[in-house]
């Protein structure tokens, strides 16, 4: 993965917010990210596709559910950047609000 791909992804607020939640939760479906970020499903899906195409996330389908997680094969330097980004921003207002909305979500899908 070229460094530009990771930093381009981190440079967008929506993608950064998605990655923060994925780092915290491990795996989330599109509907959970839509609820947590209070954004439309097409907007979330577009940003998740960008992350997937850049090799930053992996996708798992379970019936009609589509789950995203941080890619397992990320280079160690990229994982270190994501960890530092998460650690430095985990108490930020935007992330805390996103996480609160996620926790309040009713009917979250069961994990397979």
pLDDT number for residue 77: 96
Cα R_g (the chain), whole angstroms: 13
Percent of the chain with pLDDT over 90: 82
What residues have CB less than 8 Å from 39, skipping those under 6 apart? 14
- Residues paired with residue 66 on neighbouring β-strands, in sequence order: 61
56-111 residue pLDDT tens: 999 999 888 899 999 999 999 999 999 999 999 999 999 999 999 998 886 665 55
CA 105 to chain centre: 16
Closest among 56, 33, 63, 58 to 45, alpha carbons compared: 33
What residues have CB less than 8 Å from 74, skipping those under 6 apart? 1, 55, 56, 82
Fold for 3-98, please state it: Arc Repressor Mutant, subunit A (1.10.10)
Mean pLDDT over all residues of the chain? 91
pLDDT at 112 over 80: no
Please state the domain extents for the chain: 3-98
């Amino acid at each position: 993965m070229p460094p530009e791909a990771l930093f381009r992804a981190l440079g967008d607020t929506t993608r950064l917010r998605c990655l923060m939640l994925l780092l915290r939760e491990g795996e989330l479906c599109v509907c959970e990210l839509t609820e947590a970020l209070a954004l439309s499903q097409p907007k979330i899906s577009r940003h998740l596709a960008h992350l997937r195409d850049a090799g930053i996330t992996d996708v798992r389908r379970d019936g009609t559910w589509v789950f995203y997680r941080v890619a397992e094969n990320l280079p160690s330097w990229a994982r270190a950047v994501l960890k530092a980004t998460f650690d430095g921003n985990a108490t930020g207002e935007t992330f805390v609000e996103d996480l609160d909305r996620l926790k309040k979500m009713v009917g979250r899908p069961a994990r397979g």
